[in-house]
Structure 1
């Protein structure tokens, strides 16, 4: 059921009942941004005697109303659908306790986190039913918006689609950016955008076949259908995650206003970049700031491409969220011209170049093999990766790293892509060149992943593995893993 169909049904129901509207729906009648945006709760960790911040997460089955009035089966984390926001500071020692209650094996990947491979939550860190996985690491990266989601081999699309996802916020104060909106859920709003395909009873349709897998016509934001959010007048920061399986969004405001991108996947840009429209592919995150006048009502929407640059994924026009500004302006000061002084990923002269050729469901002519190591990287390396797409639309995510987009089809990228990233949109038949910065967590027996984040493609095998090793030992590393995975059975 799409938004247009729901509008018609709501109108027919109201007419048949002779209802002109009730008090709760006067400002926002059904089908016209009738539902207050759900803001995921911040999960408060316990702090143990060692100072570690302990987060407890339970993956579980549940029920929720994806469409108001229709309660259906979903999965969630510490709840019935989606999960809480995890906020952590640079320098924190974090300890997770992830308990699997969904009735089948899964994993939990910390997308965007720079951490040891055994803590990464990829397909090798399987959590069996009723078991608990307890990874620990020290947060050592700049302020950024990440997310967490399952990553089981060949089943990622289904697990994410059912509702296992949540946002991560890393706090690392930059003096220049101290004036950015930061009041969680008030003027700093998390937005997890996902498309669903629902039947007439509001239940999730699970058909993941076809070139791109499942493409839905019902768009939920933080699991909310047809949402509105009230924000203080003045500046508001929106942290947007594309948590969809395959759909690409082209974000803009319906009134065509300018807004300022302040951060990409891996953290703040050097300075704000003014835009009117930005694409966001699955797995990517974007932070932007705009100002609203008192009483103003503005719609955030996605409008499909109308040019030769259009994707070959089914596109559409969607109203995503109504933003309503209330009260006197909270902050109308201009954005700082400088947001971050952190160095961006760079590749030195003569850097090693790795080439990744993307076909329909393979990388460099190979399907994913859980026992095969495809690339060996020395700790701390800075390299050039060239991602060459020979077919239809893809994107590309590398675990653990931060990278900077150097070129798209030989030309410099748009300025808003000038920040640190871990996932990049790779249009059909395009070549994207990246400067990639690797971490220093060396472990020759525990791999990280690189893959297309269109989840149907990932599940079909469009994924490879790399290990990070002590510099100088690359030629001594086995290309076969001693075991196919690292199972966590409790």
Structure 2
């Protein structure tokens, strides 16, 4: 509770700071406003090869399940010259391996927490039983173990895993506990898209960091910021100033915004077009060509970029126009220009992949029978519908097998986004109009532009539990930690909302 109060007052202090500066005079405000913008275009050396996370190893047990061993531990990482940075990681010092599985796999995880504090692993974007979800009710105590198990039953997609301890998620993710999950299926593998891991199919965990003089990462928002930690340096897969040597004409980038708060607007330094082929929940029906792609924290996107022999081009994050309103856009990084990663194409490139005209089927919930409609208004730094998260309060129950439509809105002048556990949803409309192309695939996390209303449709299927809830929340982690989160359960026929177990009794050990 003390930590959540501290987060709340840190965020509120940013708002008070604006009034204080304003009272100090227009000149002081103008100086602070000008100094709040970061521009690293053309200023990054790009002198380190991009680290590609290893693929997680697994063994098949007697029941046919693929078993992955994951150890959460403390370590030290040499991000910069000089002193190594204290970090956390999974099976390593920083970040974790990429877990690559196929639809139909039965997976089991042997999770060991070697930290001296409790944490968890949430499988972001995964359809699975609530007791295996890895949210705040499935904490793994210091020195403890957790053994979740379920069957992968969703289309090919890019997901990720990260901690979800209530009130401490921001700190645990920032220290390095995160990794990518790739789901394959027969349909996607037959399409001819780039899919050779680490060659033409690249995981890219993009994060911003703030370092102090001894190379240690520090948390903390910008002066007058409202989002929590906004860093001034960008890393990919734990690499500062990364370059990647391209050997194929087409390269598939699996972009994950793994930052605590920053919203990126991806594009290339020569403004070349690229093709969006997949969103959070899987492949689009057809590729969408664009030159810019915004991603808020927790969102993923798969893009395919074409290179010519000898190309050198930088992936960048460009300014955002509408993430926040008024000066909040500048103070929360919306005006920043950031170089992210350099791509250096060889003089000769192989050319044996393609982006097919048809890749998948479109989301199909627009005409479904709707069992319930709900409204969710995100406001302040810690409230949804005027309430903050209560671990012992289940906000509502939904019926298994039904479709619901939720209207979600951002009541503020600064940024929020919205993530729902267990399901992928379809964005039906935004302020009554068709959503932008990058929001028309299956999603589990969307950016909420201030003062706009988003109608999303989702089907709740297969897994029921009247006592163990899933979460819905803002994925700007300081807001989540401060209480901008709620809980729901999926109910089977005849079931009613039960009693949330205490955290200890909710530890699922398989």
Q: What is the TM-score when the length of structure 2 is the normalising length? A: 0.87
Seen in structure 2, the aligned counterparts of structure 1 residues 200 and 364 have a Cα distance that, compared at 3 Å, is: same
CA deviation after TM superposition for structure 1 residue 351, in Å = 4.2
2:353 maps to 1:338 = no
Distance (whole Å) between structure 1 residues aligned to residue 293 and residue 152 of structure 2: 29
Pairing 1:301-316 to 2, within 5 Å after superposition: 301-306=316-321, 312=329, 313-315=332-334, 316=336
8 Å Cα contact 2:399-2:493 kept in structure 1: yes
Distance (whole Å) between structure 2 residues aligned to residue 378 and residue 307 of structure 1: 36
2:124 maps to 1:104 = no
Distance (whole Å) between structure 2 residues aligned to residue 472 and residue 330 of structure 1: 58
1:136 to 138, 149, 172: 149
8 Å Cα contact 2:405-2:458 kept in structure 1: yes
CA deviation after TM superposition for structure 1 residue 233, in Å = 3.2
Q: Name whichever of 427-436 and 263-272 sits farther off.
A: 427-436
1:80 to 86, 93, 100: 93
| 1:28 paired residue number | none
Seen in structure 2, the aligned counterparts of structure 1 residues 472 and 278 have a Cα distance that, compared at 3 Å, is: same
CA deviation after TM superposition for structure 1 residue 93, in Å = 0.5
8 Å Cα contact 2:370-2:402 kept in structure 1: no
8 Å Cα contact 2:468-2:501 kept in structure 1: no
Q: CA RMSD in A?
A: 2.3
CA deviation after TM superposition for structure 1 residue 68, in Å = 3.8
2:392 maps to 1:371 = yes
1:146-194 deviation line (CA, Å, top 9, x unaligned): 0000000100000000000000000112169521000000000000000
Pairing 1:258-407 to 2, within 5 Å after superposition: 258-306=273-321, 312=329, 313-315=332-334, 316-331=336-351, 334-341=354-361, 343-346=363-366, 348-360=368-380, 361-391=382-412, 392-407=414-429
Distance (whole Å) between structure 1 residues aligned to residue 270 and residue 360 of structure 2: 30
Pairing 1:85-484 to 2, within 5 Å after superposition: 85-174=98-187, 178-207=191-220, 211-306=226-321, 312=329, 313-315=332-334, 316-331=336-351, 334-341=354-361, 343-346=363-366, 348-360=368-380, 361-391=382-412, 392-473=414-495, 476-478=496-498, 480-484=499-503
1:411-445 deviation line (CA, Å, top 9, x unaligned): 21112221111001001222111111222201101
CA deviation after TM superposition for structure 1 residue 335, in Å = 1.8
The SS at the match of 1:459 is helix
Q: What is the TM-score when the length of structure 1 is the normalising length? A: 0.90
The SS at the match of 1:66 is coil
8 Å Cα contact 2:275-2:288 kept in structure 1: yes
Distance (whole Å) between structure 1 residues aligned to residue 142 and residue 361 of structure 2: 45
Give the number of equivalent residue pairs. Answer: 464
Distance (whole Å) between structure 2 residues aligned to residue 99 and residue 424 of structure 1: 32
Seen in structure 2, the aligned counterparts of structure 1 residues 344 and 176 have a Cα distance that, compared at 3 Å, is: farther
Q: Name whichever of 417-426 and 405-414 sits farther off.
A: 405-414
CA deviation after TM superposition for structure 1 residue 334, in Å = 4.7
Distance (whole Å) between structure 1 residues aligned to residue 441 and residue 232 of structure 2: 31
1:325-358 deviation line (CA, Å, top 9, x unaligned): 1253322665211001375444524442111111
| 1:25 paired residue number | none
| 1:26 paired residue number | none
CA deviation after TM superposition for structure 1 residue 44, in Å = 1.7
8 Å Cα contact 1:58-1:98 kept in structure 2: yes
8 Å Cα contact 1:260-1:273 kept in structure 2: yes
Distance (whole Å) between structure 2 residues aligned to residue 54 and residue 304 of structure 1: 43
Distance (whole Å) between structure 2 residues aligned to residue 420 and residue 489 of structure 1: 28
Distance (whole Å) between structure 2 residues aligned to residue 298 and residue 357 of structure 1: 41
For structure 1, list consecutive stretches of 5 or more residues without a partner in the other structure. 9-30
Seen in structure 2, the aligned counterparts of structure 1 residues 35 and 345 have a Cα distance that, compared at 3 Å, is: farther
Seen in structure 2, the aligned counterparts of structure 1 residues 248 and 175 have a Cα distance that, compared at 3 Å, is: closer
Distance (whole Å) between structure 2 residues aligned to residue 136 and residue 103 of structure 1: 25
The SS at the match of 1:160 is helix
The SS at the match of 1:174 is helix
